[in-house]
Amino acid sequence: MSDLLYICLDATDASVENEVLAGHCEVRMLGATSAAELKDSDLAAADVVAVWHTIWLDEALFARLKKCRAIIRMGVGYDNVDTHAAARAKLPVCNIPDYGTEEVADSAMALTLGLFRGVLCGASKLANGESIRGADAIAAAVPYVKRVRDSVLGLVGLGRIGSAVALRAKACGFDVVFYDPHREDGSDKALGIRRAASLEALLGESDCVSLHCLCNADTFGMMGAKEFGAMRQGTLLVNTARGELIDEAALADALRSGRVAAAALDVHCQEPFARDEGALAGAPNLYCTPHNAWYSPESRHEMRRKGAEAALRALKEPTKSLRNVVNREELLPFLMPSQDAGADALAPEAASGLVDSLRTMAQPLMSQVSTIQDGAKQLGAAMDPRLAARPAGKPSPAAAPDNKATPKKSGVGPDFTGFFLINKDSEAYQAVESSE
C-alpha cells in the first residue's frame, strides 16, 4: 500500500474514488460538516484534499496541511475556498468544471418553463388546498403566465451551462439574449442568439432573466435594487448559479411590488434554505429547490470520478501540468521554476547560465524599451525554450462555474516577465533592473 493519502473532507462513501485511486494512495472519507470536526492528524497526513461545498477552506485550515499537494473542489464553483490563501500556501485549487453541465441546464429550463407555464404556481396552490376551477379562476391564479414562443430569455453568463441553456431555450422558441463581457466576439453568431451591450440593456428587454455566472468580488450581490428597477414590470427570475449573486432583501421587495412577477431559485445565500427565515420570508410567488439542479446519479458519479482523476494527476504530475487550476496565476509568484518535478524543470546549471546570459543581453535590449516588464518580454524570446513554453496564466476569480462572466486580470503569460515576478530578488533580476 502506498504511503500517499487522499482525503475528502465532507463525504462518506469511497466506492468511486477507490476505483480510480486503488494502488496509488489510501482513500479516507472524513464525513465532516465543519472544519472544527476535522482532526489535525488527518489533515497533516493528507497529500491531496477534496471538498464538496459544506466546508470553508481558509488560511487557518491550510496551515493544518503539512504536505498537501493540491485541493480538489468537487464542483464547478469554488467560493468556499479562499484561493488567495491557497496560493500563499503554494496549493493549486482544481475544480471540476464539466461534470453536470446538462443537469444544471435542464434544471434551469425546467424552472423557466415552470414559471412561464404556471406549473410551479399551480402545483403549489393545489398542494396548499386551494380550489381552482374555470377560466377566470385559472387566469387569476397564475396572472404572469406567458406564451414561450418569441418571449425574451436573458442569460447572464455564457459559459458551459449558459451556452447549454441557450441551445435548449432556442429549441423551445425563446428569443435568447445574453450578457457576458468576457465572451469573445462571435459567440452570439456561433449559437444563433443575440448579445446585449450591458447588463442593464439585457434586464430592460427580458421577459425572464436566468443567472449563469460565477460568484466573486465583482458579481456578489450583482442583482440588487438598481438592477431589479431596470427590469420591466412582471419580469421572471431564475437562479441556478449561486445564491450570493442576488441581494435577497431587494428581491423580496421586487416580488412584493410585482417588478419581479415570480422567481425560481435553486441556490440561496443561506443553505439549507428555510422558507420562513431570512430576507425572503413571506415573499410572494417564490419557488425554491434545495440546490439540487446539478444532481443526477450519473452526474454525481461523473464528478466523483473526475475528482479522483484530478487527485491522481496531483499525486503523479508536476504542478504546472495540472488541469482546471483556478488559482494558477496567483500561484506563479510563489513557485520557483525548479520546484516542479519532471524532466522539463529548470536545472540548476541552466539557471546559472541564465544569469550570465541576462548580464550579456540586458544592456542592448534595455536601451530599446522603457520598462523592466517590456524588456523582460523581449528577453524571453532568447531564453531557454523551457521557460518560453511555460503555460499562460489564467485569470483567477476572487471566489467560486463554469460560467465565464468573470473579470479578466492581466497575468503572467508565457514570456520572461513571469521569471522576474518569481525571482524578483535574484541576482539576474537585480542585474537587469540596475541597467535601466
Residues with a known catalytic role: 242, 271, 291
What's the gap between Cα 114 and its chain centre?
27
What region, left, alpha or beta, does residue 221 occupy, with left being phi > 0 and alpha being psi -120 to 50 degrees?
left
For 24, the grid coordinates are 496509488
Give the Å distances, CA to CA, from 45 to 7, 212, 274.
Answer: 9, 37, 37
Q: In angstroms, rounded to a whole number, what is the distance separating the alpha carbons of residues 39 and 51?
A: 15
For 34, the grid coordinates are 465543519
Radius of gyration in angstroms for the set of CA atoms belonging to the chain, rounded to a whole number: 25
Q: In angstroms, rounded to a whole number, what is the distance separating the alpha carbons of residues 365 and 373?
A: 12
Q: In angstroms, rounded to a whole number, what is the distance separating the alpha carbons of residues 156 and 152?
A: 13
Cβ contact 252:261 at 8 Å = no
Can you name the residues that pair with 8 across neighbouring β-strands?
29, 50
Cβ contact 29:5 at 8 Å = no
Can you name the residues that pair with 263 across neighbouring β-strands?
237, 286
1-18 burial code (b ≥16 CB/10 A, e <16): eeebbbbbbbbeebebbe
Smallest CA-to-CA distance from 405 within 245, 270, 260 is with: 245
